[in-house]
Structure 1
Amino acid sequence: MAGSRVPALSPAALLPPQPAEALHARVARSLRHAVTQGHWPQGARLPGHRALAQQLGVSRNTLVDALGQLETEGYVTSRGRSGTRVCAPPGQTTSDAPGLLPLSAWARRALSGQDEDAGGSYEFDFRVGQPVPELYPEAAWTQALARRAGQHRAGAEALRDPLGPVETRRALAAYLNAERSARVTPDMVMLTGGIQSALDALARVFLEAGRVAASEVPTYSGAWAALAASGAEVIGVPVDAEGLDPAGLPEAATLVYLTPACQFPTTVTLPFARQRAVLDWAAACGAFVLEDDYAADLHHTGRPPAVMQGLAPERVILLGSFSKSLAPVTRSGFVVAPETVTRVLAGTRPLTDRVPGVLDSLALGDILVSGAYGRHLRRARQGLRHRYEVLSRALEAARPEWRLTPARAGLHLHAALPSGTEARTIVRKAADLGVAVTPVAGPHEAVLLAFAHLEVSRLREGAARLGRL
């Protein structure tokens, strides 16, 4: 092969251009492709620069730039009068399609736990997880961000603290103690990008193959997936009309996940007697309770209930987020845990993450301290309550056979279906009418309808459309 030459080329040998790609880069990419796909054998000699440029229909300077790039990358080598030769062997495969990825066991478990969104657009979209523009205090947030953006020194100092800016942790601790009857010190707080990242961190720290975790069922699928991805056995604890039933807890576990203030997806509140039973069980077997307070500030009937963390701060890890009560774009969340736990989280965090957006964290602290967040919530709760009542009344009229769960909080309504009715069937029939709802499968089939993002008129019209099922 040492004396062979590459076949003559033409402008058709150039690969299609990519957006904003320079001509010399396109030529280099095309010649690189010829080498890696085996079209040019190793040791083959390229035509002279002028001849090859004419074959490709480009200038000599363009070709020289392209060959210089390939020589730097090791695909060709220039040997003076001996010319330019291919010096890289072709790849083992000529297919552009990758084979099976060598995924880890963690990745396979994580992917198997993902829910697939049906996708599509609908005239009336009641699916949960919709952004709510009204739940965004634009003026207060913008002012806080602008103020903090000019304080470079404070931001630089905050970058060194793996728990997040201490002034924001102080503000958050004070807020939780005053508003939620928590028992928190700043050193018990770690700021996160949201509840999901906190669940992932805690699962990695506490769970592995051979250990047991427990979770209420039905539940937030992202929590179950995070626990299961660790390799631990996840045991479901049934939920009834009062929330998680402590009688269903396993004999022992490392973690138990629950949403006591507003159970997801049923929206019921776990009564104190059951909370106490869960805490007694956790103390007996040495488990930590993961209290997901996702709807903490979205209670639209009076003040939200006290958190379980205040009953047993040594046993409860509180997870919270402002992505719903402010806006998803803020990505501001937190973990409240015993200091022994936050020290471990701080020590392991640099392997996968750094502190969340410092500007967002500092701005969050400012609106908590200033009272702007409290004023925002009072306005938002009124709107949420009105929309909830409108949709409840409209659905009771349109689908009287659906049993609606009274909700004190959250952004969706839970509708239990009559016995023998499958949620997937309702979803499919509703989609044919231009209405999207979220199914809840299991022993008690139900559908969820988000209401906070829709105008009142759209809530009534969408419910009426469901009446045609």
Structure 2
Amino acid sequence: MAAPGVQALKRAGAALEGLTLLPAEPGEALHTRTERTLRAAISQGRLPQGVRLPGHRPLAAALGVSRNTLVDALSQLEIEGYVEVRGRSGTRVCVPPDEDMPPSPPPLPLSAWARRALSGQVEDAGGEYPFDLRIGQPVPELYPARAWAQALARRAAAPREGEGLRDPLGPPETRRALAAYLRSERGAQVTPEMILLTGGTQSSLDALSRILLEPGRLAVTEQPGYPGAQAAFAATGARLLGAAVDDGGLRPAELPQRADLLYLTPACQYPTTVTLGAARRQAVIRWARQAGAFVLEDDYAADLHHRGRPPSVLQGQAPDRVILLGSFSKSLAPVTRSGFVVAPPEVTEVLSRTRPLTDRVPGVLDALALADVLASGAYARHLRRARALLAHRCGALLTALRAELPGWNALPARAGLHLYVRLPPGSDEQETVARAARLGVGLTPARPLGPAHEPAVLLAFGHLSPEALRQAVRRLRPLK
């Protein structure tokens, strides 16, 4: 019969046979991961009370870590009372297994809002490609680094400068500069008191959804359309209805008799990039008044137009029914996190009073720097350069597509950072994207953005040079 010490070593050896490090947590150090693995093995009874662990080197080898990492982990477990180090007698487990510990954690008790929010998200396919034409790419050239850095430095050097730093709408001087810009450049009917500064369009959509929608109310979105808006509306429990888009934009005849809210991208429809004409704009305003609905006008790409001047905002025609959303994350850079809402005074009042439930004020330093960039004319100068650059790259991509893939029908974009490209009839959209990936080119399928009636893909162009765009299209020639 084996001695007790030998039996203990055998038990420890058997337990170590299947012992592997638990999956790493984000940012977790290796010694912490080792501690967590051994702590779980003791609590679950895989390393029972009284068992003597093997020496440091074999135990470290079993876990796939260095001896020093193991020693650090055991030292922490000794402090916590899980093990006892007895010199030449080795290290022994001191505590019994936790009999009450469930085999796996119970499901997270999510709220109905969280479940709806998660179900409405569209996951990125991921992956890296030699030529990545997927939408959402940052454009380093669209960042007036010098002007922005100077504005930030000046404001950071005088942190008490500026009035109303605790104003829930945002600093008044920023709202004054923004109101002047929107009146002169976008034809908006706006005063500083109608503006709420936000962290970007998605935070604007979330705030408006919470005060305008709830279970039983109806929100209408373009189809295909922006999934971020659809997800924000669905999270409230409101009913969603899609209104079809054609080459003239949203079709007003698709709108229901009654609704609470309509999300619209009239200047540059997302994702098709078409512009809503004057007759349809008037029809939408008539519908909004008759239906008692607010129109959420997302002006996401107007500053990045590259074919003539953009149309004036719909808000300028009906400031009592249209809520204007905008952001500088594309025209400046995503890191600025500077967005805004222009709404009727009664809506702005509710937004300002409910804002403290989520955040007291927007990013004040960025907001004050934005005021300087707008008021100094630096933003206007930056846009002139950015528009020329985007027009050149958009033209290069269109020319390459016509030459190399004549069966792919790209809609000419007046603004924005991508093209909407119809695939040849009978094409399988997902298969086209998969084949392009195998050729080293990343594309975005149009179908996740809504129940599109045709196979189409989106090609981003703003972040790549004309030559890179031409090379990417040449790689796609086997797909024609």
For normalisation by structure 1, the TM-score amounts to: 0.84
Equivalent residues of 2:45, 2:96 under 8 A apart: no
Partner Cα separation in structure 1 for residue 21 and residue 474 of structure 2? 52
Which of 380, 388, 392 is matched with 1:382 structurally?
388
**Which residue type is aligned with residue 147 of structure 1?**
R
Deviation at 1:161, TM superposition (A): 1.3
**How far apart, in 2, do the equivalents of 1:126 and 1:315 lie?**
37
Residue equivalent to 2:150: 143
1:214 alignment partner, one of 220, 234, 239: 220
Partner of 1:93: 102
Q: Does 1:311 align with 2:317?
A: yes
Q: CA deviation at 1:248?
A: 0.3
- What is the aligned partner in structure 2 of residue 107 from structure 1? 114
- Structure 2: how far apart are the matches of 1:391 and 1:209? 44
Going from structure 1 to structure 2, the CA distance change for 1:91 and 1:190 (only over 3 Å counts) comes to farther
1:223 matches 2:229: yes
2: CA distance between counterparts of 1:415 and 1:28? 53
Change in CA separation of 1:213 and 1:39 when aligned onto 2, cut-off 3 Å: same
1:324, distance to aligned residue in structure 2 (A): 0.3
* CA positional deviation for 1:357: 1.6
Whether contact under 8 Å (2:43, 2:96) holds in the other structure is no
Q: Is the 8 A contact 2:143 2:332 kept in 1?
A: yes
Aligned to 2:472: 462
Q: Does 1:351 align with 2:361?
A: no
* CA positional deviation for 1:332: 0.8
Q: What is the aligned-residue identity percentage?
A: 60
| Aligned partners of 2:249 and 2:269 also within 8 Å | yes
Question: Is residue 300 from structure 1 mapped to residue 309 from structure 2 by the alignment?
Answer: no
Please tell me whether residue 118 in structure 1 is matched to residue 128 in structure 2. Answer: no
Counterpart AA for 2:394: Y
Q: What are the equivalent positions in structure 2 for 1:15-30 lying under 5 Å apart?
A: none
1:326, distance to aligned residue in structure 2 (A): 0.3
Counterpart of 2:64 in structure 1 is none
Aligned ranges for residues 50-65 of structure 1 at < 5 Å? Answer: none
**Pairwise mapping of residues 34-183 of structure 1 onto structure 2 (< 5 A)?**
37=44, 91-95=100-104, 98-154=105-161, 157-158=164-165, 160-183=166-189
Paired positions, count:
438
Cα distance in 2 between the residues matched to 1:211 and 1:467:
48
- Residue 89 (structure 1) shift: 7.1
Partner of 1:236: 242
CA distance in 1, matches of 2:34, 2:469: 57
Residues of 1 paired with 2:183 and 2:99: CA distance? 65
Runs of 4+ in 1 over 6 A off after TM superposition: 7-10, 15-23, 25-32, 38-41, 62-71, 85-89
Moved more, 98-107 or 208-217: 98-107
TM-score, normalization by structure 2: 0.82
Q: Which residue of 1 aligns with 2:57?
A: none
Residue 413 of structure 2: aligned partner: 407
8 Å CA contact retained: 1:125, 1:435: yes
Structure 1 residues 37 and 381: CA distance shift in structure 2, 3 A: same
| Deviation, structure 1 residue 456 | 1.0
Return the offset for 1:26: 10
CA distance in 2 between counterparts of 1:152 and 1:336 reads 27
Superposition deviation, residue 99 in structure 1: 3.4
Separation in 1 of the partners of 2:475 and 2:76? 64
Structure 2: gaps spanning 5 or more residues? 1-7, 51-66, 83-93
CA distance in 1: counterparts of 2:286 and 2:30, whole angstroms: 68
Aligned in 2, Cα 1:131/1:63: closer, same or farther, shift over 3 Å? closer
SS of equivalent residue, structure 1 residue 340: helix
Residue identity in the other structure for 1:387: R
**What is the distance in 2 between the residues matched to 1:63 and 1:425?**
52
Where does 1:239-388 land on structure 2 (aligned, <5 Å)? 239-388=245-394
For residues 216 and 89 of structure 1, the distance between their equivalents in structure 2, rounded to whole angstroms, comes to 54
Q: CA deviation at 1:34?
A: 7.8
The change in CA–CA distance for 1:287 and 1:93 in structure 2 (over 3 A counts) is: same
Q: d(CA) in 1 for partners of 2:391 and 2:231?
A: 31
Contact 1:212 1:255 in 2 (8 A): yes
Query: Could you tell me whether the CA contact under 8 Å between 2:301 and 2:416 is conserved in 1?
Result: yes
| Counterpart-to-counterpart distance in 2, 1:367 and 1:315 | 30
CA RMSD of the aligned region, Å? 3.5
**Could you tell me which amino acid in structure 2 is paired with residue 210 of structure 1?**
G
* SS of 1:449 mapped into structure 2: strand
| CA 21–136 in structure 1, closer or farther in 2 if over 3 Å, else same | closer
Question: Does structure 2 retain, via aligned residues, the 8 Å contact 1:130–1:450?
Answer: yes
2:455 equivalent in structure 1: 445
Question: For 2:304, what is the secondary structure of its paired residue?
Answer: coil
Where in structure 1 are there 5+ consecutive unaligned residues?
Answer: 1-6, 46-56, 72-84
The CA deviation at 1:90 is 5.5
Shift of 1:102: 1.7
